[in-house]
């Protein structure tokens, strides 16, 4: 088949293919025995809202060169992603503090508006401790380039 796969710069909705196939099985058994936790067959790539060709194999760190061609009426756009470091800690009641390992999860480039959005995430295992969060502390450090 020589027909190219659909692609675009917009977000893919969670209920569209292929994202929906990675969300796991949310049937009656899941509802009775596991909800609100993720299904056992859930795959993290269900969170990727970009077309497959725009999903990086590794997390971006900042400092990467970006070139946009045929995306802006004034011509090509070339820039380097800012280097930013986040550090954080979380503490639940009666538990020691945990370090939060941040990664850049999402990069949104709006060429028309000349805007760049970089989104980081951090995760920690909390099980049923979520209501017992005592403190979350996040520090932003912009590195000199």
The answer to whether residue 121 is domain-embedded is yes
Q: Do 37 and 66 belong together in one domain?
A: no
Q: In tens digits, what is the pLDDT along the chain, a chain of 145 residues?
A: 788 776 677 889 999 988 999 999 999 999 999 998 899 999 999 999 998 888 899 999 999 999 998 888 999 999 999 998 899 999 988 888 999 999 999 999 998 899 999 999 998 887 776 678 889 999 987 665 4
The answer to whether residue 1 is domain-embedded is no
Q: Do 67 and 120 belong together in one domain?
A: yes
Q: How much is the pTM?
A: 0.75
Are 63 and 145 in contact by the 8 Å Cβ rule? The answer is yes
CA distance linking residue 144 with residue 107, whole number of Å: 20
* Residue whose entry in the numeric block shows the structure tokens 């503090």: 97
The answer to whether residue 2 is domain-embedded is no
């Amino acid at each position: 088949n020589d027909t190219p796969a659909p692609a675009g710069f917009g977000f893919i909705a969670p209920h569209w293919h292929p994202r929906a196939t990675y969300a796991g099985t949310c049937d009656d058994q899941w509802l009775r025995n596991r909800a609100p936790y993720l299904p056992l067959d859930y795959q993290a790539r269900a969170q990727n809202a970009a077309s497959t060709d725009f999903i990086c194999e590794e997390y971006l760190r900042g400092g990467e060169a970006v070139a946009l061609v045929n995306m802006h009426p004034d011509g090509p756009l070339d820039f380097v992603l800012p280097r930013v470091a986040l550090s954080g800690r979380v503490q639940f009641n009666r538990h020691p503090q945990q370090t939060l390992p941040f990664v850049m999860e999402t990069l949104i480039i709006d060429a028309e508006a000349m805007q760049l959005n970089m989104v980081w995430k951090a995760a920690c295992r909390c099980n049923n401790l979520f209501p017992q969060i005592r403190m979350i502390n996040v520090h932003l450090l912009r590195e000199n380039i």
